[in-house]
Structure 1
């Protein structure tokens, strides 16, 4: 594709990124925990998983399922660290070792549950939010992260929808209006 043909798509993606940030700055204060700095970065992670998964609505659903599994795994890691507190420094690393090992088995699970990248991305983001966002609770981060992950998947879908529409239009093929 020539640069002049690619430019409208690139501008659309840039506009989308701008809009995600505007949405985040406009609504992040409505999401728990109070005083959070926003979660646009989570949307950008999800946007990337839409492409990694295969760029279809079914792949988006597959990513979404992985996000829920990943955030649940983050909760389990945190809870599992508790019984290991006697290990001090190694309490959380041991919990991560156990859960990360189990999560990798998802690779051989049925197709809709086997997208390991979305699981690890959501788990890492969840674990990070719980560690670094003041006032975070299991439910507040779950709700906020899932909302912004879903927003990212939607923007991934919009990117592909626009790109397909534009490329079809510019190639001269008839497009159904």
Structure 2
């Protein structure tokens, strides 16, 4: 049975989209997912399911919309895909808290890099279904705008590594 990682968009960030992780775990278990574990309170959940990726995504998005009263974006990756996101990090020498992988549903559009605005010290690289950003000066002071990232959700490389480890043992 495949192991999956689901990454929820805009959950428990800056006071918006409050969702207790115990509630997220219960939702996943009610959908029939097994070995469910959450990681930190920002909408990360690891589990196994006999369903295909799109069915997992649809089930979670439906359940979350019913809970929140509005759509909640969910990006899903298999354990192997999450390991590949970590391995493909184009900034392996940067501190893990200074590199973010922005997860998308599909490959980044061809004009992603050309559309970037307000770029300072940040470096942006494209992955398979991710956009990697290196924030040398940290995210807090960044003015970087990546229009293609609007529908995605970001996790720093430290979190990606932990989620990959959690999924690998399922």
Tell me the TM-score normalized by structure 2: 0.30
Max Rg structure: 1
